[in-house]
Amino acid sequence: MNMTATSDIKETNSLFGLNDNGDLVFKPSTSETTIVTPSLCFPWMKNNEFISIRDKHGKEVFLIKSLSELDSKSFQAVNESLLAATFMMKIISIQKIHAEFEIRSWTVVTEQGPYKFQTQIDYWPQVLNKNFILIRDVTGNVFYIDAPYELDEKSLHLLWPYLD
């Protein structure tokens, strides 16, 4: 499992770094550098805590209890890798929800700007707690609404029928 790593991880005591291809690499003191993938144990509730580090076979090789426990180079590498692996768009406003032909079309405003996506007609947004809603579109993209009751009145009116 000898993988090429950047000089940063070789020259410091950092557990994590990025290799020349941008892959997250793990270097425990007792073994060779390995390309790994971070996986959030509680992805929509605790995105800075309990991060499972897995090898190419999906086997957990390390558990990060909190990103704050890492040195700055490891923190930066793991955080960057997490952002790439778990990109979700935050919905800040809902402009329109329209159903037709087994598809529900959403017109929303995200932090990145206006966006349109579609969900299956029988798919309902997941309410993970009273303050967090998750929506997955037909292509697998993930959208979320943080603090839905802070949305504007129009957005709440459009969203309300789809909540349990």
Q: What is the pTM of this model?
A: 0.56
Q: In this structure, is residue 1 part of a structural domain?
A: no
151 CB neighbour count, 10 Å cutoff: 20
Task: Read off the tokens for 45.
Answer: 């509730």
Please tell me whether residues 15 and 59 are part of one structural domain. Answer: yes
What are the tokens at 6?
């950047």
On whether both 79 and 116 belong to a single domain, the answer is: no
- State phi, psi for 137 to the nearest 5 degrees: -85, 180
The structural domain count of the chain equals 2
At residue 24, does pLDDT exceed 70?
Answer: yes
pLDDT band at 80; cut points 50, 70, 90: confident
| Average pLDDT for 81-102 | 87
- Are residues 76 and 103 located together in one domain of the fold? no
From 85, 116, 147, give the residue that closes a domain.
Answer: 85
| 146 inside domain | yes
The top-scoring range by mean pLDDT among 23-27, 29-33, 90-94, 144-148 is 90-94
71 and 130 share one domain: no
| CA distances (Å), origin 108, targets 27, 98, 112 | 42, 12, 11
Side-chain half-sphere CA neighbours of 77 within 13 A? 28
Interval 53-76: pLDDT, tens: 999 888 999 999 999 999 999 999
Q: Which DSSP helix (H) or strand (E) runs through 81?
A: helix 72-85
Q: What is the pLDDT of residues 124-138, one digit of tens each?
A: 998 877 788 989 888
User: Are residues 99 and 121 located together in one domain of the fold?
Assistant: yes
Average pLDDT of the chain is 84
- Indicate whether 80 and 100 sit together in one domain: no
What is residue 154's DSSP assignment? Answer: H
Domain region containing 55: 7-85
User: What is the model's pLDDT at position 99?
Assistant: 92
Looking at residue 157, its pLDDT comes to 95
Average pLDDT of the residues in 97-117: 94
The answer on pLDDT for 6 being more than 70 is no
Same domain, 13 and 79: yes
Mean pLDDT of 43-51: 72
pLDDT for res 22:
84
CA dist list (Å): 57 to 36, 60, 141, 150 = 9, 9, 24, 42
